[in-house]
């Protein structure tokens, strides 16, 4: 359920979810770079090669609705980090690469 702040702003938590190298971080970077959408900086917790270790996070505001948008870490070994990030999520955007050699 979205939460409502004292000033009436609705807050939704959205997560990009899916396998590693499926394009979750790339998609969130697009949101961040879209003019007039993001407020504040993009937070990224990743390894030196750019693979997400915990999450990425961008806050986007449209009128009086705030979207806290996260990615999860897609590698199998980050299962418990994914469970933590997914807590309280209102909606997931399942993200994967449809190229046949990426569908193993």
Ligand X SMILES: Nc1nc2c(ncn2[C@@H]2O[C@H](COP(=O)(O)OP(=O)(O)OP(=O)(O)O)[C@@H](O)[C@H]2O)c(=O)[nH]1
**Smaller CB separation from Mg ion, 24 or 57:** 24
Please state, as a whole number, how many other Cβ atoms lie within 10 Å of the Cβ of residue 80. Answer: 9
Any contact of residue 61 with ligand X (CB under 6 A)? no
CA dist 9 to 26, 40, 47, 59, 74, Å? 28, 17, 34, 13, 31
How many other C-beta atoms can be found within 10 angstroms of the C-beta atom of residue 94?
A: 11
Residue 95, interface with Mg ion (CB under 5 A)?
A: no
Question: Nearer to ligand X by C-beta: 67 or 70?
Answer: 70
Residues 19 to 78 in contact with Mg ion, rule: CB under 5 A? 24-25, 52
Q: Is residue 74 a contact point for ligand X (CB under 6 A)?
A: yes
DSSP state, 54? Answer: E
24 vs 82, beta carbon nearer Mg ion: 24
Q: Is 44 in the site for ligand X (CB under 6 A)?
A: no
Tokens, residue 99: 């190229």
């Amino acid at each position: 359920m979205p939460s409502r702040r004292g000033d009436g702003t609705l807050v939704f938590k959205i997560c990009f979810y899916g396998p590693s190298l499926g394009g979750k971080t790339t998609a969130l970077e697009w949101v961040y770079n879209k003019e007039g959408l993001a407020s504040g900086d993009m937070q990224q917790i990743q390894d030196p090669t750019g693979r997400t270790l915990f999450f990425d996070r961008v806050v986007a505001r449209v009128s009086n609705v705030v979207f806290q948008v996260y990615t999860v870490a897609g590698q199998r070994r980050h299962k418990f980090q994914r469970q933590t990030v997914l807590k309280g999520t209102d909606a997931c955007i399942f993200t994967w690469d449809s190229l046949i050699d990426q569908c193993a």
